[in-house]
Amino acid sequence: MKLTIIGCGQCGGRIADEFALLGKATHVQRGIESVTNVLAVNTDIADLSGLSHIGSDYQHRILIGGQKTGGHGVGKINELGADLAREDGDKVLESISATQHFFEMDAFLVIAGAAGGTGSGALPVLTQLLKERYIHKPVYNLIVLPFRYEEMTEERSIYNVGTCLKSAYLVADAVFLVDNQRYIRKNVSIRNNFAKINHMVVKPFYNLLCAGEEITSEYIGSRVLDAGDIIQTLVGWTVIGYGEVKLPRIRLFGEDKLHFREKITETQKGVQAMDKAIGELSLKCNAADARRALYLLTGPPQEMNMELIKELSASLRNIATEAIIRSGDYPREKSLLSVTVVLSDLVNSRKVVAYFTKTISYIALTKRRRGEIEHEHKGIEEAFRDIPSLL
């Protein structure tokens, strides 16, 4: 699958920068073009200057709202971020149309942190503009949820998250949810923590994007998981996970007779990788809430067999009981088995509902402070309508 990546705001730009590095890695290590273009969109010049792998020209690092903000950001006001993206969105569309291999692209991935100003405001607006211009290309969002300390100390962050999630859900074909708190490491510097988090956010996409783009026959799986399978899987709230285990030995081609203990270990390793992938999902959720799912098994070709596929399918079916499951194999790795899992069309995300509830409470509190007292009690569904849309 080939993606065009657009990072919005500081958080989105840095994760997009990591995707640019991934694109270079797939080209150098595997001769595959999985990322056709990477753009960073921001209202802050300093944030754009801090990127490492995205092209430094104005068509790849795009400043919006420069006249209104002076290049110093929007100060967490995501309504302003949305307005500036709407006014200068043509800059992004022009840069995309100038991409050399644009028509080879399968989908867009627009990335932002939900708690900020520029990113959370620009993400749904740019998503809408892309869908209006390129009606046959899916537009996916990757939204990073805030750290716990941000939720506790910054009331505005909760409001930004609620409005961003609601607006994105209304326009995007699917929304990948990433919980920053899942990846944080204590007693590690801020710089190293963010770098590690960004790497862990992007890593699960590596094999997933490469599997369907292989042209070397020995690396093409028996069941190829390509862009069509991924597009049919991605709908609504979505999470992604990755797990890997090292193999105890490398079995040579033609070595058909395997000791029964090694055979058992081989299957156990695959299930262990699946368990790790589920345990490392980008957002903790109930797999039974997923209506669509997929998994990709990557490993040495001689280690992947029907027994292993059967066990992995059964393992995922046991937890994603209501999901339509797609699967594929990718004979690439030499000394490890890895599994990438995607759970999509999540009908009930406790984390998302919690953010909506907190946003509604924030709006009600703000109205009371202004003297706009509401006498009637509203149910959750009716109150949800009070969350503003950034579109």
For residue range 126-159, what is the model confidence (pLDDT) as tens digits?
Answer: 999 999 999 999 999 999 999 888 888 777 899 9
> Which phi and psi angles does 215 have, rounded to 5°?
-120, -10
Contact 364/254 with Cβ under 8 angstroms? no
Residue 120 has pLDDT above 80, yes or no: yes
What angle, rounded to 10 degrees, do the helices at 118-133 and 155-171 form?
10
What angle, rounded to 10 degrees, do the helices at 118-133 and 78-97 form?
40
Pairwise CA distance, residues 106 & 84, whole Å: 27
User: Domain-by-domain residue ranges, the chain?
Assistant: 3-202, 217-346
The predicted pLDDT at position 333 comes to 81
Report which of 17, 20, 75, 74 is spatially closest to residue 48, judged by C-alpha positions: 17
> Which phi and psi angles does 192 have, rounded to 5°?
-70, -35
User: 218: which DSSP letter?
Assistant: G
What's the average model confidence in pLDDT over 157-170?
A: 95
**In this structure, how many other beta carbons lie within 10 angstroms of the beta carbon of residue 384?**
16
How far from each other are the two terminal CA atoms of the chain, in whole angstroms? 29
The predicted pLDDT at position 372 comes to 64
**Mean pLDDT computed over every residue of the chain:** 89
C-alpha separations of 316 from 204, 287, 339, 385 in Å = 17, 9, 11, 35
Q: Strand pairing of 174-179 and 139-145?
A: parallel
The predicted pLDDT at position 102 comes to 79
Residue 263 has pLDDT above 60, yes or no: no
Maximum alpha-carbon separation in the chain: 79
Pairwise CA distance, residues 45 & 55, whole Å: 15
Q: Which CATH superfamily is domain 3-202 in?
A: Tubulin/FtsZ, GTPase domain (3.40.50.1440)
Q: Percentage of residues in the chain with pLDDT exceeding 90?
A: 70
DSSP sequence for 329-364:
EE---SSEEEEEEEEEEES--HHHHHHHHHHHHHHH
Pairwise CA distance, residues 286 & 41, whole Å: 34
Would you identify the CATH topology of the domain 217-346?
60s Ribosomal Protein L30; Chain: A; (3.30.1330)
SS3 326: strand
Single-letter residue type at 278: I
What's the average model confidence in pLDDT over 172-186?
A: 87
Pairwise CA distance, residues 60 & 151, whole Å: 32
Report which of 17, 385, 10 is spatially closest to residue 199, judged by C-alpha positions: 17
SS3 78: helix
Q: What is the pTM of this model?
A: 0.92
The predicted pLDDT at position 218 comes to 92
Q: HSE (CB half, 13 Å, CA atoms) of 14?
A: 17
Q: Strand pairing of 336-346 and 290-298?
A: antiparallel
The predicted pLDDT at position 370 comes to 78
Report which of 140, 60, 128 is spatially closest to residue 100, judged by C-alpha positions: 60
Residue 260 has pLDDT above 70, yes or no: no
